[in-house]
Structure 1
Amino acid sequence: MFELSAPATGDCRRMAEIHVRAMDANPLLHAQFPTVDSIRRLEVFLAGHYESTIAPRSPGRSRALVARHLPSRQIVSFAAWDVPAEVEAGEVAEEERLESGDITKLKGCQKQYLENYAALSASAAVEALKGEKCYHLEFVCTDPQFQRMGAGEALTRAVMAAAQADGMLPVYLESTTVAAALYKRLGFVTLGGFGMDIPKRGSAEPTEDYREICMVWRPTKTG
């Protein structure tokens, strides 16, 4: 039902649209971008962000795959992840997170919730991985009209297969509590988690306890 492929430049606007639609149910999105206008600016920013990461000459560590729904031929889901950096002995590779870059300069964003999330998630990753090289699965986003049809699972399995082929590397991710069951079914195990207080949708007071779960999958040798 789905065909997986590397995205083309012309697919990036659709990826950004899917990102925003898929995250609409996540209260963190609305804490970070509380207005319709700020979310529109986010979508434009994400289109440019994904275009820059898939550029043929891009030296970055970011990778992406899209899932195309064969009956309709439209892209309905995508995965985005980082691969380990090549570093010299004694150096420490630092990952630039989406939430801590130029996104914090977007008009209407609530910068403190972007930066707080970036700091907490980075600290949790250091604690969980203790310097171990891995694939970091940052996003698996599916258009709500096509959720629960297997696209996200197919993309996740593709990233797992790529990590296994790339020196039997583990795959690390931060999951919402809602999505954790899918990852557990795929063999991911919980390493820890983190939380932060954010406003409920439509409010300015940080009264909601938002939590994410740190999970890892490790390939096993067969044969």
Structure 2
Amino acid sequence: MTPERHKRILDMLNKRQVDLTVCMEGVHKPHNLAAVVRTCDAIGVNDVHAVWKNERMRVGGGTALGSQNWVNLHNYTSTKEALSRLKEQGMQILVTNLSDTAVDFRDIDYTKPTAIILGQEKFGASDEALAMADQDIIIPMVGMVQSLNVSVACAVTLYEAQRQRQAAGMYDTPSQLSQEQRNKVLFEGGHPIFAQACQRKGLPYPQIDADGQIVASEQWWQKMQMNKEAWQDLDD
């Protein structure tokens, strides 16, 4: 890993907002999935949650432009499970919904731990999601349409969250990512060939030092160069 890439990854990790996230509920169009993940990476969102109503889809390529490699995707089969998990983390749950209690999305305090529900493209958020949300929000419209594309709505809302958090200095202090998470991202992002080999062979990730280089035992390096079938002599 070059010093320049090491610094860039560290700068990215230090600005990650671990208490800001989105939950995609039934979003199924590949370009929307990819665009949401790409926006999340740009804003500094570390984790994205997805409720799959039918088959689970893969986020990658095209619109994502590799951003899926930097954002953790957590999968669920039910809305209740996903939102309960977020509430356990102390998140305020927001959902775009045109209702009598909805407020302008800019009136929300996004410096609080926040999760934003993104409903399915055609039908929006489910009744269950609306019931579990803490607040309905709206993005003001003065044209003939009443809603934005889901990925656009995500970007508009997240950039307001970024604006508020930058004003509060929340991007100026190192993020609360664990050392384990930081090491994982540094290894996968800085040494992708070795990371793929670890995944293929079932080897644990080594530590990354302050210069971005791999710190591993001689046995680890030997296993990296051998077939898994030949490991027994090393382990004996």
TM range (shorter): under 0.3
Q: TM-score, normalised by structure 1?
A: 0.23
Q: TM-score, normalised by structure 2?
A: 0.22
Which structure: greater strand fraction? 1
Which structure: greater helix fraction? 2
